[in-house]
Chains A and B, each alone.
Chain A
Amino acid sequence: MPNKKKIIATTSLAGCFGCHMSFLDIDERILDLIELVEFNKSPINDIKKFTKHCDIGIIEGGCCNDENVHVLKEFRKNCDILISLGECAIMGGLPALRNGIPLSECLEEAYLNGPTVKDANPRKIIPNDPDIPKILNKVYPCHEIVKIDYFLPGCPPRADLIWNALYALVVGNEMLIPYEVLKYD
């Protein structure tokens, strides 16, 4: 008797989509994957809103603004299992390089004083439209905002690591972690 397909959602918060690209690097195994799962909200199929409750949510990127926090909380609400995928989701990654610098200094450097700004911003405006997500004081790892169940490190995580994790979760096996697929870069 065929089991009900597991439902997966994915998102990229303060990430570069590299983790999603690495996900696609599972190559022809994606054909096996679609036999096992169906995708809901995800940039892969361009479904923007959750249309049903999901089994697995995959999060790329950390939280650098209030919209990231909102999306992450939506994922926690709508998914049974959340996976932090990649260094940015786990520890903030390269965006978190700003964490030692006060936010005002970052914004002033980017919009007022940076060497490439020059005359491009004559009215000296730091973008503040209410429609733009508000930048947080620092970049937060996802597990400091909501509970995260599993972590897959890497920049990006190796395709084999992602495949092994998803396969193990979907079929209920223990995950294989060969030495060479667990890397932080």
Chain B
Amino acid sequence: MSIFVKFTIDGQICLAEEGKQLIEAAKENNIYIPTLCNFSGIPPKGSCRICTVLINGKPATACTTKVSENMDIKTSTEELENFRKAVIELLFIEGNHFCPSCEKSGNCELQALAYRYKIMAPQFPYLFPKRSIEAWHPKLIKDHNRCILCKRCIRGIKNEQGKSIFAYGKRGENLEINIDKETSKNISDELAQKCMDICPVGAILVKEKGFTVPIGKRKYDYNPIGSDIEKK
């Protein structure tokens, strides 16, 4: 039998199963903790740091923390919100994110977070790094300009043999996520679509598909990211 624990988020008393991922526990209590690298159902990574909250006064990522009795969590302090904004802005300047020409625009979680925080322009200078686009795969495109290295695709996508079809290549500032030639050889259309859907940005695209949903009907055109959790 599972044990339920009591904890507070921003003063609100919450209940959840002991040991649950804090980000999921908050969701069950209708509280949205913003995140990019976390994806329900796959192991957390804690790489984007956007879900950083204060747990008993100390900062920690809500995706890698398990909830326990009497935890005192703060998520919407001004300092944390400014910190999150800065992380989002850093992601925008670090890559080449040309929203107007991106297939994922309107359905992109990075963009949606920037909308949620009403970021008008990043406070850091743009780096315009030189990045390539991988288009050799028959079904997929990997655009390194847009990749934020959250590792969702590596963690969440496996082929029929249970092997990852994405892997890290290169090192340091040149780090990129590549499509594995062997394990991705015979992927189905459904799996290709799943690859595109698991990517929070437009770094993984299904070939010959894009701009299928008109402006005004896309996921984040009218509904801020997280509003589905908060509305319940």
Contacts and interface: CB of A to CB of B under 8 A. Distances in A.
Interface of A: 84, 87, 90-94, 96-97, 99-101, 138, 141, 143-144, 150-153, 155, 177, 179-180, 182-185
Contacts of B122: 91
Given A100-B129, A184-B99, A184-B111, A152 B221 contact: no
Interface string B119-159: 01110011011110000000000000000000000000000
Interface of B: 96, 98-102, 105-106, 111, 114-115, 118, 120-122, 125-126, 128-131, 215, 221-222, 224
A97 B96 CA distance: 8
Nearest to A140: B126
28 contacts: A84-B121, A90-B120, A90-B121, A91-B122, A92-B126, A93-B98, A93-B100, A96-B98, A96-B128, A99-B96, A100-B130, A100-B131, A101-B130, A141-B126, A143-B121, A144-B125, A144-B126, A150-B120, A151-B121, A152-B120, A155-B99, A177-B118, A179-B222, A183-B115, A184-B111, A184-B114, A185-B102, A185-B215
Given A97-B98, A151-B120, A185-B215, A91 B111 contact: no
A153 B92 CA distance: 14
Contact of A182 (B115, B129, B131): B115
A139 B224 CA distance: 32
**Among A91, A141, A152, A180: residue with most chain B CB under 10 A:** A91
Nearest to A98: B128
**Among A87, A138, A150, A183: residue with most chain B CB under 10 A:** A183
Nearest to A156: B100
A185 B106 CA distance: 8
A141 B128 CA distance: 11
B128 A138 contact: yes
**Among B105, B126, B129: residue with most chain A CB under 10 A:** B126
A92 to B, nearest CB: 7
A176 to B, nearest CB: 11
A94 B224 contact: no
B126 A91 contact: yes
Nearest to A150: B120
B213 to A, nearest CB: 12
Contact of B100 (A87, A177, A182): A87
Contacts, number: 66
Contacts of B100: 87, 93-94, 155, 184-185
A70 B141 CA distance: 40
A107 B178 CA distance: 31
Contacts of B130: 100-101
A185 B105 contact: yes
Contacts of A177: 118
A180 B217 CA distance: 12
A177 B106 CA distance: 18
Given A94-B98, A155-B99, A182-B115, A99 B128 contact: yes
Contacts of A185: 99-100, 102, 105-106, 215
Contacts of A144: 125-126
Nearest to B222: A180
B135 to A, nearest CB: 16
B110 to A, nearest CB: 10
A91 B93 CA distance: 9
Given A93-B98, A185-B99, 10 more contacts: A93-B100, A96-B126, A99-B128, A143-B121, A151-B121, A182-B120, A184-B100, A185-B100, A185-B102, A185-B105
